[in-house]
Amino acid sequence: MALSLGVLIAHAVQAREMVITVDDLPWVEFAHGTRSEIQPRHRRLLSALKGIPAIGFVNEAKLVDGAQLSLWRQQMLIDWLDRGFELGNHTDNHNDLHQVPAEQFEQSILRGERYLRPLLGQRQQALRWFRHPYLHTGMDAATRERITQFLAAHDYQVAPVTVDNGEWIYARAYLLALQQRDRALQARLRADYVDYMLAKVVFFEDAAQRQFEREIPQILLIHANALNADALPDLLTVLRIRGYQFIALAQALADPAYRHDDQFFGRGGISWLHRWALTDQFPKSHYEGEPSVPDWVLQLAGVDGE
């Protein structure tokens, strides 16, 4: 996959806004790296985000190593706060609302704040953001309404995503390349990842233009992993060239687009732009041309598709 530089920076003079959201904190790949490997990657990821009002979404179960709370994993969350980033709840163990009863999902939300809420309270900060794992928000109106009311009762706001993507597939392939110490493959994956993500951004810019007759603040989803520790600086550079300024989640959600009705109850976890388009019964052609992860990356990662 490759987009010409001209396509990537076309209309760069246009001011654009984006929120950077990072899921599965403190780290995705604890099972595939030692502390001495993960901590430098964690620091590189935070360095890449310097000056950006990013937000990270936490799975508290990742704070446990064996049967014990891990002090160094807890410190990773403190590092986020020390650098001025926000933190939100992503359930304790990345539970799937489409696979468990609503009551069980509610309990996973509460377990996801046992450490996080006091940690934020020590800094006079409120825990106010929730991100649905897999972007699964309920396959029927009753379930969604129940969870919506539960979140509201616990002072949460939902963090949507507009630029959904297959970054996790690249991350899986990149981890394999790291394990194999294949520097050429690592470089190829990083470059293709940046091309792919920018192509996704352009696609969703165009989708927003068709749906709202203007661009809207975009919300990008990525994860705390080795791939972004190494490739995020390049991705952010090209986004800036394209005209993006990075804003806080609350600022983006003040845009009227985010009050659009969402009547999507499918099995998939999809972009909110797609949800709104489906609600408004946009034609099939509206969704055509969305970039996909190339076959060679899928095969390397050992997955069938996004």
pLDDT band at 4 (very low <50, low <70, confident <90, very high): very low
Query: Which residue has tokens 């940690």?
Result: 119
Residue 64: both structure tokens together: 């446990």
Quickly state the pLDDT bin for 14 (edges 50, 70, 90): confident
**Three-state SS for 281?**
coil
Query: What is the spatial distance between Cα 201 and Cα 196, in angstroms, rounded to a whole number?
Result: 9
Q: What is the pLDDT of residues 232-257, one digit of tens each?
A: 999 999 999 999 999 999 999 999 99
**Structural domains of the chain ordered from first start:** 15-301 (3.20.20.370)
Nearest to 257 by CA among 211, 207, 220, 221: 211
Q: Which residues contact 12 (CB under 8 A, 6 or more apart)?
A: 241, 242, 243
- Evaluate if residue 155 carries a pLDDT over 90: yes
CB 226 within 8 A of CB 186: no
Q: Tell which residue, 189, 204, 271, 301, has the closest CA to residue 234.
A: 189
* Residue 108 dihedral angles phi and psi, to the nearest 5°: -70, -30
pLDDT at position 305 is 86
pLDDT tens-place string over residues 176-227: 999 999 999 999 999 999 999 999 999 999 999 999 999 999 999 999 999 9
Mean pLDDT of the residues in the chain: 96
Cα–Cα distances in angstroms (integers) from residue 125 to residues 107, 119, 144, in the given order? 22, 9, 27
